[in-house]
Amino acid sequence: MKSFILYTGSAINLMLALFHMTFWKMLNWAGELPKLSKDNQGILQTANIIIIAVILYFAVMSFIMARRGKTGFYGKSIIVLIAVFYLIRMIAGYPFFGFNYGELAIWVVCLIIAAGYVSVLFMDGKRGV
């Protein structure tokens, strides 16, 4: 079961990284970003690139942990980091985006991802990963 959750987490993180890669076109950043100062343009785009890299790291590490069949101390610390990352995104959603159904969907997805990773920490180490 741990392997399944980690493989699923890997796939979801890969999809979310690809989704973040579409922000330039999807959010019309070519037209919208020039409305910001050069510093804010740079900060926003740099933050998105870093988020893409971090989420790709989550995908790769989840895949490796599932393949190796071990989590160990460092693997568990990565799992905690992934869960905290998605919980922060969920909690930050309300003050930054307010409440709407699109944001609610993001909260649900973030909560499911975080709960899935946290559940791996509580699974018996003798079965699965």
Q: SS3 sequence, 36-80?
A: CCHHHHHHHHHHHHHHHHHHHHHHHHHHHHHHHCCCHHHHHHHHH
Q: Which amino acid is at 77?
A: S
> How many residues does this entry show for the chain?
129
Indicate whether 129 belongs to any domain. Answer: no
Global confidence as pTM: 0.89
Task: Give residue 128's pLDDT band: very low, low, confident or very high (50, 70, 90).
Answer: very low
Q: 127 in a domain, yes or no?
A: no
Structural domain total, the chain: 1
Task: Tell me the per-residue pLDDT of 31-80, one tens digit each, with 9 for 90 and over.
Answer: 999 999 999 999 999 999 999 999 999 999 999 999 998 888 999 999 99
In a domain, 43, yes or no: yes
Considering the domain boundaries, does residue 128 fall inside one? no
Q: Is 91 among the domain residues?
A: yes
Residue 28 in 3-state DSSP?
Answer: coil
Provide the CA 126 distance to its chain's centre, in angstroms. Answer: 27
The answer to whether residue 28 sits within a structural domain is yes
Query: Is residue 94 one of the residues assigned to a domain?
Result: yes
In a domain, 23, yes or no: yes
Range of the domain at 95: 2-121
